[in-house]
Structure 1
Amino acid sequence: MTSTVRRIGFLLWPGTRAITLALAEEALRVAQRVHPDVHYELRFLQVEAPAQGGAEDGSLPDEAGWRLPGELWAGKLEGLQKLFLLADEPPTSLAPALSSAIKHLVRGGCAIGGLSAGVYPLAQMGLLDGYRASVHWRWQDDFTERFPKVIATSHLFDWDRDRLSACGGLAVLDLLLAILARDHGAELAGAVSEELVVERIREGSERQRIPLQNRLGSSHPKLTQAVLLMEANIEEPLTTDEIAQHVCVSRRQLERIFKQYLNRVPSQYYLELRLNKARQLLMQTSKSIIQIGLSCGFSSGPHFSSAYRNFFGATPREDRNLRRSSSPFEISQPAVERR
């Protein structure tokens, strides 16, 4: 085991939650505590100048009032073996100078990673083209459409050559444990996981979504089978009779199961499933409303619009205009070029 000092940087966007950073930082600090030959030097940098009301020390508060650690980025990135970009929502911009500094660091041999929405700026800079990248399931459609050259996965985390990514949440800790295992051996990673009372060390290739029975709050096998069929047949919906036949129960029995566990009939649950998928596509992609309606099993634009309005209280167009999240990520241009 080597005593080489490894320098790791964390580049933080405003709004980064304490838990996201703490999971990564704590794994490294515990590793140093449990083994005297492990040395990490951590550096924290904030991406942009504080907004009005920021602290006198320049740190940026998140929505809960937590202040990001470290100093504001001041034009240089150097001396790091790894750099992680952290954001909990897709950033809307990236200054050209910061983009240039990150690329320069990567050319010098620095491994680079994106945690949670930190994969967005990496993809915008082209640093993930041809690489696997773990993308949180909430952003899968949006990310895939914006960055077709990136191999977006639903893995907990990905480590593709010198590119690292974790979808967010506890997967950040999983990735750091994998780093510890590669840097210092599986024994140390196991010791850190025990110290943090981690039940098991998960592989990066494991899928993000929790088991369906946990999401439904039920372990009824026929209900699980039926919902899996619905999720696999969004574009061409099955009838209730077809679903009942596939799961080997009568239509009446299937309706009783749905009513008992989900308080709705199968057709109502299926419709809500398709409408929620349609809303996700409306907010995260630039597909036309008609394309989205057809891809979610609606036979025509009026049919889709009517069902959508009845469920959400607004037409698809109104909802997209009112609720669509931040504009597509762009690298900011120098003021002299914006005319």
Structure 2
Amino acid sequence: MTKQPKPKPVIPDGAFSFPVKNPRDTRWFSFLLLDGFTLLAFSSALDPLRIANQLSRKALYGWQVVSEDGQSVPSSSGLSMEVHGALSEVERTAHLFVCSGNAGLEAASDSTIAELRKRARFGGRYGGICTGAASLARAGLLEGKRFTLHWENQPGFAEAFPMLEPTRKRFEEDGDLLTCGGGSAATEMMLGIIARDYGTDFAVLVADMCLNDPDLKGRREQRSSIATAVDSRNPKLLLVIQGMYANIEDPLTLDDLAKNAGFSRRQMERQFQSMMGEPPATVYRNIRLERGRALLVETDMTVMEVATAAGFNSTDLFSRHFKARYGETPYGTKGRRR
């Protein structure tokens, strides 16, 4: 079949601009929309590219939106999306993102799965948005790879592919393989690409236009600790987590947390490792770090004040753990806010 020409790159007008010196040739991405795809996740991936073009006033990025048969595709919200063409019309070496929703395991037809395998043999590059990784798994493209998909769909994915283990991260990058859990994680994934192409300052400006506080290195997890505890349906575990959130500035000891929930400390530690994948001390510290990061981003408090409010008895200890979790110091986070 004759390949359809790529659409002309979109360069919208805007009130604000940011000059990019020595831009590269337009970098192209293709998005395969499958029936029931999540509109939020797709648009969250696409718009950072549009904003990058708008700010630079140059065609830094181009995109081609396709479906299995070239027809419009219904999203999970009931709205249909027009496309540029069919998957078969996209260059086989293109960087292709598969976009799907709740029915990610069944969304792609057998012929599309076969096409994905064929493209892999031609050196195609892949990504999965929301549950797009499920189609990549069906095509056998995730073995030995680090990847993720939306947390709601991970239990069903694990049943279908017991030998593959998605991470809890909001997005993952393993070589050319890019996957995310959807929503704002899709924006963060694309901001990471923009940062590597044109620098962190430009990527942070794109994030500001998105009203997004970016995690360019993908260290955040998809769900909060309390959401994970609720999902475990373990009332004692939930009591411990609630105790952690209620005692951030003056942290309780692990013994006190266990006693208040009716656990022995040993039982509590086993439950945390089993249900949360981390010991309670790590979970508690991360909850306090999350509070500290929010205060740095949202207030004018000093780093010392934030450290105290997050339950750390020194700025050095707070800074060390903060950098290990977020990849920059508290001072760096506060400086970016300014």
TM-score, with normalisation over the residues of structure 1? Answer: 0.59
Is the counterpart of residue 12 in structure 1 residue 33 in structure 2? yes
Q: Secondary structure at the match of 2:166?
A: strand
Q: Which secondary structure state, in structure 2, belongs to the residue aligned with residue 109 of structure 1?
A: coil
2:168 is the counterpart of 1:154 = yes
Bigger drift between 199-208 and 178-187 goes to: 199-208
Q: SS of the counterpart of 1:179? A: helix
RMSD (Å), alpha carbons: 3.5
Deviates more, 1:103-112 or 1:4-13: 103-112
Q: In the alignment, does 2:88 pair up with 1:75?
A: yes
Which position in structure 2 is the counterpart of 1:247? 258
Residue 129 of structure 1 aligns with which residue? 143
Are the structure 2 counterparts of residues 245 and 94 from structure 1 closer, same or farther at C-alpha, using a change threshold of 3 Å? Answer: same
| Aligned residue number for residue 99 of structure 1 | 113
Relative distance call for 1:185 and 1:84 in structure 2 (3 A) is same
Aligned runs of 1:171-250 on 2, under 5 Å? 171-212=185-226, 226-227=240-241, 247-249=258-260
Q: Could you say which residue in structure 1 is the equivalent of 2:154?
A: 140
Q: 1:135: Cα distance to partner?
A: 2.5
Structure 1 residue 42 and structure 2 residue 63: aligned?
yes
Moved more, 79-88 or 165-174: 79-88
The answer to whether 1:85 aligns with 2:98 is yes
- Residue 246 of structure 1 and its aligned partner are, at CA, apart by 5.1
- TM-score scaled by structure 2? 0.59
Q: Residue 110 and residue 2 in structure 1: after superposition, are their counterparts in 2 closer, same or farther (change >3 A)?
A: farther
SS in 1 for 2:80: coil
1:146 Cα deviation (Å)?
2.1
Q: Deviations over 1:224-253 (max 9, x none)?
A: 662489xxxxxxxxxxxxx996534497xx
Distance in 2 (alpha carbons) for counterparts of 1:135 and 1:151? 10
Aligned residue pairs total: 230
- Does the CA-based 8 Å contact 2:23-2:60 persist in structure 1? no
- Report the counterpart of residue 332 of structure 1 in structure 2: none
1:16 and 1:62 in contact (8 A); partners too: yes
- Asked whether 1:25 is paired with 2:38, we answer no
Kept in 1, the 8 Å contact 2:171–2:218? The answer is yes
Q: Check conservation: 1:10, 1:83, Cα contact below 8 A.
A: yes
Aligned-partner SS, 1:175: helix
User: Equivalent pairs: percent with the same residue?
Assistant: 25
CA contact under 8 A between 1:130 and 1:149: conserved in structure 2? Answer: no
Work out which structure has the larger RCO, using CA pairs closer than 8 Å and 6 or more positions apart in sequence. Answer: 1
| 73-82 vs 107-116, greater mean Cα deviation | 73-82
**Hey, what's the Cα distance between the residues in 2 that align with 1:2 and 1:81?**
20
Q: Is the 8 A contact 1:132 1:150 kept in 2?
A: no
1:193 offset after TM fit, Å? 0.6
Post-superposition Cα deviations, 1:164-186, rounded to whole Å, max 9, x if no partner, equal 10011211111111111122221
